Structure 1
Amino acid sequence: MAPLAPRTGDAIFANVERVNAELFTLTYGAIVRQLLTDLEEVEEVNKELDQMGYNIGVRLIDEFLAKSNVSRCVDFKETANVIAKVGFKMFLGVTASVTNWDAEGTTCSLVLEDNPLVDFVELPDTCQGLHYCNILSGVIRGALEMVSMKTEVAWVRDMLHGDDAYELQVKLVKQVPEEYPYKEDD
């Protein structure tokens, strides 16, 4: 396997401007709470968080590529490792483990033992179907789509629902070839 990246997630995390973690966590919680109030249905909130994350991921990939100096990944396995070790560290200050690969190498799990988005969070009984951190699945999906990978991302385990870790399943649906317009010489 090729080296992960010229700059690791730790090195990038040490040099990026950050907001106060508690402020970030509380602001995100306020957004989720407002969505629950406005949309009323937990499934609609899950969809909205995913869409918000997708929109963020579409834009965040540019910053990631510019600051990380990551070269093009050779396959989906390397991409998953870069997300887990560089992307999560760069933007959230944590790393993830990449596990549960399928035989084709197109589906894996990203397992977070620590998740800064859930500090101070306890879900009430009325929100048991809520994927509180669904914004992360959207971010991953949006960012990967910008680098020509159509994916499906879903929560498998969630400590807010009593599981032992936070686990996102990432499935590569298709690799979209980059198209370059062909221009004939006159």
Structure 2
Amino acid sequence: MVLQTAFRIYLGITPDITNWSQSGDEFSLQFESNPLTEFVELPDHCIGLKYCNILTGVLRGAMEMVQMDVSSMFVRDHLKGDSCTELRIKFIKRIEDAIPAGED
């Protein structure tokens, strides 16, 4: 899948695509290691911090570039003691090209 290739090229990791929903519009990306957190430790008072939340925004932005509206969120995070990092991606809708008002 293209997402796996993008992760491999830009971050050097290949996530597993798992947990497809029954309707086929939602799945998880799981990866064992995350190079963004390799040298990071969260202090106790920052346990609620979503340190790698930039990845969810990057995924949403990349999918907008190919005319797809998606939502993404962290389900599990290695920094918080989970066995792996898991991102959940849900397809919302296809974005239709629209001409701004007044520009015909």
Could you report, residue by residue, the CA deviation over 1:138-181 in whole angstroms, capped at 9, with x for unpaired residues? 1000010111110100000001111010000000011123469x
- Rg larger for: 1
Counterpart of 1:130 (choices 35, 49, 72) is 49
1:148 aligns with 2:67: yes
User: What's the secondary structure of 1:87's corresponding residue?
Assistant: helix
User: What's the secondary structure of 1:98's corresponding residue?
Assistant: strand
* Residue equivalent to 2:78: 159
1:87 aligns with 2:1: no
Structure (1/2) with the larger helix percentage: 1
State how far apart, in whole Å, the 1-side matches of 2:31 and 2:53 are: 14
**Count of aligned pairs:** 99
1:108 aligns with 2:20: no
Structure (1/2) with the larger strand percentage: 2
Could you report, residue by residue, the CA deviation over 1:24-83 in whole angstroms, capped at 9, with x for unpaired residues? xxxxxxxxxxxxxxxxxxxxxxxxxxxxxxxxxxxxxxxxxxxxxxxxxxxxxxxxx210
Unaligned stretches of 5+ in structure 2? 100-104
* Residue equivalent to 1:11: none
State how far apart, in whole Å, the 1-side matches of 2:97 and 2:18 are: 28
State how far apart, in whole Å, the 2-side matches of 1:104 and 1:176 are: 19
1:97 aligns with 2:21: no
Percent of counterpart pairs with the same letter? 48
Runs of 4+ in 1 over 4 A off after TM superposition: none
User: What's the secondary structure of 2:39's corresponding residue?
Assistant: coil
Map 1:36-115; keep pairs closer than 5 Å: 81-84=1-4, 86-115=5-34
TM-score (norm 1): 0.51
State how far apart, in whole Å, the 2-side matches of 1:97 and 1:175 are: 24
Unaligned stretches of 5+ in structure 1? 1-80, 181-186
CA-based RMSD:
1.3
